[in-house]
Amino acid sequence: MLQISKLNAWYGASHALQDVSLEVAKGEIVCLIGRNGAGKTTTLKSIIGLMDRTRGSVIFKGQELLRQPAHVRFALGLAYVPEERRIVQGLSVRENLRLGLVASPEKKREAELIAEIARVFPRLAERLDQEAVTMSGGEQQMLAIARAMIAKPDLIMLDEPSEGIMPVLVDEMFALFRDMKRQGTTVLLVEQNVELALDIADRAYVLDQGAVVHHASARELLADSEIKERYCSV
């Protein structure tokens, strides 16, 4: 589904990604791990079109993305939940969900899609008319994920979904990722909580200083304490 080869990205003169190559097959959960500043977020931003300067190749469902603007990439079936969530102030949960449909061909079935999402996210179902920013951090994270899911993307990219969220909600969220996978959604996950991420992932890539230094099945990595100690914050 996604083939990245020799991806390079820059912030001004700073060369943040160096020849990153990775693949995500349909239906997989693939995890990017590595210490702070390793380049995980920059990889996601390059895929979705938020980096000014990139070089290399990012092929999604057979199409080269790097020269396409971000809105075209979304329309091709990519979704991105950034670390900072971007819940819109002054809008209810329902209105935030609606925003997820703006670029989607599914817009006509809006009420039906919101009802479907509400079934999957019972916490949101109870709060559809509440102002979204008054919800807890974890509930807002659920909303950000629901808003990305509502357009039924083929690939969803999640940046640090567990950050700052209480453990009971993190467990709920990760159970949801397993369900998403069962339903055929492909997931590219950036997560500091390595054990948690590897527990649901099929494979993982380890990044360090902007480069891929290791990749393996999640099971192998879980057992590899040397790699985890060397490259991850565990």
Ligand X SMILES: Nc1ncnc2c1ncn2[C@@H]1O[C@H](COP(=O)(O)OP(=O)(O)OP(=O)(O)O)[C@@H](O)[C@H]1O
The residues of the shown chain that bind ligand X, judged by CB under 6 A, are: 11, 14, 16, 34, 36-42
φ, ψ for residue 74, nearest 5 deg? -60, -45
Closer of 34 and 138 to ligand X (Cβ): 34
Closer of 4 and 124 to ligand X (Cβ): 4
CB-count burial class (<10 Å; 0-12, 13-18, 19+) for 31: buried
Closer of 41 and 68 to ligand X (Cβ): 41
Both tokens of residue 213? 């230094």
CB of 164 to ligand X, least distance (A): 13
Burial track 80-105 (b if 16+ CB lie within 10 A, e otherwise): bbbbebebeeeebbbebbbebbeebe
CB of 110 to ligand X, least distance (A): 34
Closer of 42 and 96 to ligand X (Cβ): 42
CB of 203 to ligand X, least distance (A): 18
Rounded Cα distance, 234 and 230, in Å: 9
CB of 134 to ligand X, least distance (A): 27
